[in-house]
Amino acid sequence: MSDIGDWFRSIPFITRSWFAASLAVPFIGKLGLVDFRHLLLDPELIFHKFHLWRPLTATLYFPITPNTGFLYLVNLYFLYHYSTRLETGAFDGKPADYIFMLLFNWICIVITGLLMNMRLLMIPLIMSVLYVWAQFNKDMVVSFWFGTRFKAHYLPWVILVFNFIIGGSFVNELTGNLVGHLYFFLMFKYPMDLGGRSFLSTPEFLYRYFPNRRGGVSGFGVPPSRRPAAQEPARGGGEGRHNWGQGFRLGGE
């Protein structure tokens, strides 16, 4: 048990909190301590009965049954694996920025869930984090099931197909991928690579509660003040493109 405790304490704080809640809430529903129907996203009950906890519990709850247990464990592993690598990699020392990413993705997913009558939001949020990790490490070759190897850029879409095969749906995965793409594009791609304005920034109150522990976020740059002039010569050899980080091997330490 001490080994499990040591492993759990070694998980970075934000991921550890999310991981623990994603264990606790499904088991609360499984054991019948709370009727699982009170944990689902329900627009009518949210807006007319003021069940304001439902957007949060719908993100943390997942039904654990003989038919869904494997899918739950797979996505719990994805949560641990990719959230840990983002928190200790690209967002190392920047907890406020990482929390803002989770909040932005969560709000977008809740809005989508309300519009599309989605009851469970765990998979979309996990997939949005996995998508952002894949964008930071898009040229790294990763290994997946049965020894298949491909660039990390394709990983979110491979997992979409994989979860469709074992779960019978791809709406959750597609929602997560699109939300993750929206965050990455608005926060990094558009202002840094395309010279556009910055639409997203971490609110100052998050920095007050979660101050930086070290220098700038790994791999992040400063948005250019203007677009490059059309007559400026193109740089060869990939110069001038943003460095999104070196990344990690899937399943590696």
pLDDT in tens, 41-65: 999 999 999 999 999 999 999 999 9
Confidence of residue 72 (pLDDT cuts 50, 70, 90): very high
Mean local confidence (pLDDT), 132-149: 88
Q: What is the pLDDT of residue 193?
A: 75
pLDDT in tens, 86-134: 999 999 999 999 999 999 999 999 999 999 999 999 999 999 999 999 9
The closest alpha carbon to 250, from 125, 152, 138, belongs to: 152
Cα–Cα distance between 160 and 137 in angstroms, integer?
18
pLDDT over 90 (residue 236): no
> CA distances (Å), 222 to each of 74, 91, 172, 199, 217, in order?
36, 15, 33, 14, 11
Q: Which residues does residue 149 pair with via DSSP β-bridges, in sequence order?
A: 143
State the pTM of this model: 0.82
- What's the distance, CA 248 to chain centroid? 16
Q: How much of the chain is helix, strand and coil, in % rounded to 5?
A: 60, 0, 40
Mean local confidence (pLDDT), 220-236: 38
Torsion of CA 236, 237, 242, 245, to 10 degrees: 180
pLDDT over 70 (residue 201): yes
Q: What is the pLDDT of residue 213?
A: 83
Element at 150 (helix H, strand E): strand 149-151
- Would you state the structure tokens that stand for residue 151, as one six-digit string? 């660039």
> CA distances (Å), 173 to each of 24, 62, 77, 130, 169, in order?
23, 15, 15, 10, 8
Q: What is the pLDDT of residue 248?
A: 34
The closest alpha carbon to 11, from 61, 82, 73, belongs to: 82
Are 12 and 6 in contact, with CB atoms under 8 Å apart?
A: no
Which is higher by pLDDT, 243 or 197?
197
Cα–Cα distance between 52 and 150 in angstroms, integer?
42
Q: What is the pLDDT of residue 42?
A: 95
- Would you state the structure tokens that stand for residue 75, as one six-digit string? 């996505």
Mean local confidence (pLDDT), 69-88: 94
Mean local confidence (pLDDT), 153-162: 91
Question: What percentage of the chain carries pLDDT values higher than 70?
Answer: 84
Confidence of residue 189 (pLDDT cuts 50, 70, 90): confident
The closest alpha carbon to 77, from 25, 122, 41, 141, belongs to: 122
